[in-house]
Structure 1
Amino acid sequence: MSRSYRNVCLSLNRVYTVNEVQVLYDVCRNTVSNWVREGLRPSDDSFPQLFRGTELKRFHDARVARARRGLRFGEFKCVGCGAAVFPDVRSVRLEIVEGRRTFAHATCCDCGARVLKFLGATECTKVQECLDTNTELSEIDEYQAALPARIGKDKGGQDVAWFTSNDRIIHEWQIYAGRFSEKTQQAYLVSIREFEEFIGGESFDKVTTKRAGAYRDHLVELHKRPKESGGLSSSTVRHRASHLSAFFKWLRGQTGYRRLSASIPDYFALPRATSGVGLKERQKIYPSLDEAWAMVDGMPARTLTQRRDRAMVAFAFVSGFCESRRQNGPQKRSDFLIVAE
């Protein structure tokens, strides 16, 4: 994007390292550090830092929204990338214009474009303090209110919870799953995140067979519901169960998760009745006896090979390979044999 990040292909369920964020957004490491100071929340307090895709989207959506509605103290609207940014304090310059108003200009920490802003008296005083003490402008933002650790809201503020307590092990799985196609990885991540939400964000090392069985029953119930009420198709239910079974088989081999019950993957297995529902038997189309007769009758019979082919087709109907022979009643075998000859 021209630095507005609109064309970034971000996966909400994936977990990204700092290097991956740099490549994804085409920014330097200092920019990612600035984002963290401005309110981007890592998955946990450990290093190297990890960021969930949902959090990256929330952060950038919030910046754009603030630039449209109103800026915080120390924030500038960048014309280049369209976001609300806290520029590097070393690039800030203050000028008094029209006798009273203070005009500030600086350099966007994301795209390098020039940013401009008229400052009120209170904000001007706070910015000047930052210049005097070489303090980041984000420190004077009085409205930064961090959400509870390892939990957030997604999907446009519709109170859908998302969790980050398992992000590190999910990132390890992403490395393992590099052998899969991108589409397959995304399908697995959807299944894993749905299960994580079902258990309330609890760490995967605490999952029991009871929890796994409860989620299996949950899938069965979703399968029974109509799609208009949030139900899932038979194919989706089977894939969710299969993905989780494979994920926990892998998980049991990882450090810190080897105490998980070996039977957990089996608890995701669906009842046979559920896994079979929705699989409609395809109706095969068979030629009628008249069509078979015409087909054999129309086959060439000049050479030995052609007569052999003719006899094989006739034999298929004589021996009962064709279902229509049973449905339409018996046909004289001698008729086909005569035609084959």
Structure 2
Amino acid sequence: MNLFSPIIFRNLTLKNRIALSPMQQYSAKDGVPGNWHLVHLGSRAVGGAGLIITECTAVSPEGLATLSDVGIWNDEQQTAWKTIVDFVHEQGAKIGIQLWHAGTKGSLKHPNEGMKPLTTEEGGWALKSSSATEINGVISQELTVEEIQELKTEFVDAALRAVDAGFDTIELHAGHGYLFHQFYSAVINKRQDEYGGSLENRIRFLVETVQEIRNVIPDGMPLMVRISTVDYMETPEAWTLENSIELSKILKQNGVDLITASGGGFTNVSKDRVFPGYQVPFARAIKEQVGIATGAVGMITDANQANEIIVDDQADLVIIAREHLRDPYFALHAAKELEMDIEIPWQYKRAF
């Protein structure tokens, strides 16, 4: 088993263990992916990655972080995604969509404008979360139970659109300080009802959403979840690896096929805690203690490093972010460095 060994999740076979990590491009209009997204995602498929995962894709207008993020809540967006899905498939790769709601980390200006809160005049909207809390200088409102039910429906509708658009797998983004994370971490969640208090209550929104999506998508379609394995905060309320292991066991019982083990989201991680492969131990711990497939992330930048993660059975997928920005053809170059014989796009064979 190595970086270029195929892997099967339900009815989905990936040709290798390299995945393009979701990365916001802030290049959409009205939530519609365009030519930039086609080239960004398509070029990494041409470059040999086995699985392409879209950037965070909002399930509603209120789920956006900025007005330049993508979505999949209407027909125009779904049609645009299908064009991208078809191209990725033509390159022999598979593609997953990452469904997401920013919660109280939404209504922000474009990064080129400093990601500051949008005013109402600029198109900003009222923010809601598990509890009334302040992030980015804006106080959000607490979601009602009825609104939580509506949110679950929005995720289900988005999942059905993803199936119709031809996506091979769905990943829920439940980390990085976004809405699901705002529920399961007691740092943010101060509710006193069935969605707050105990760990069982705080994970309820995520678990119920998983259950409802699993019930409507095809049995052969894998369902994945990205979590923040730790909060990187030294407070009693902070989410821990032990919490993540418990959550992962429950997600596995409810039909989740892979956990991407990331971290953080409510605070900046101190530089002394960031180093090559710094989050890989989280993926290994969940894989070993839960018996579920995991995706490893966190400063994975070269072929030998990525290959060792798979060879040593630390994770099942290597999900590469920034190195894929620097090198869209990471997988092709990795195969050459590792002396692996893989299929090269015929248009590029004369260069390899």
TM-score range, shorter chain: under 0.3
Larger radius of gyration: 1
Larger strand percent? 2
**Structure number with higher relative contact order (C-alpha < 8 Å, ≥ 6 residues apart):** 2
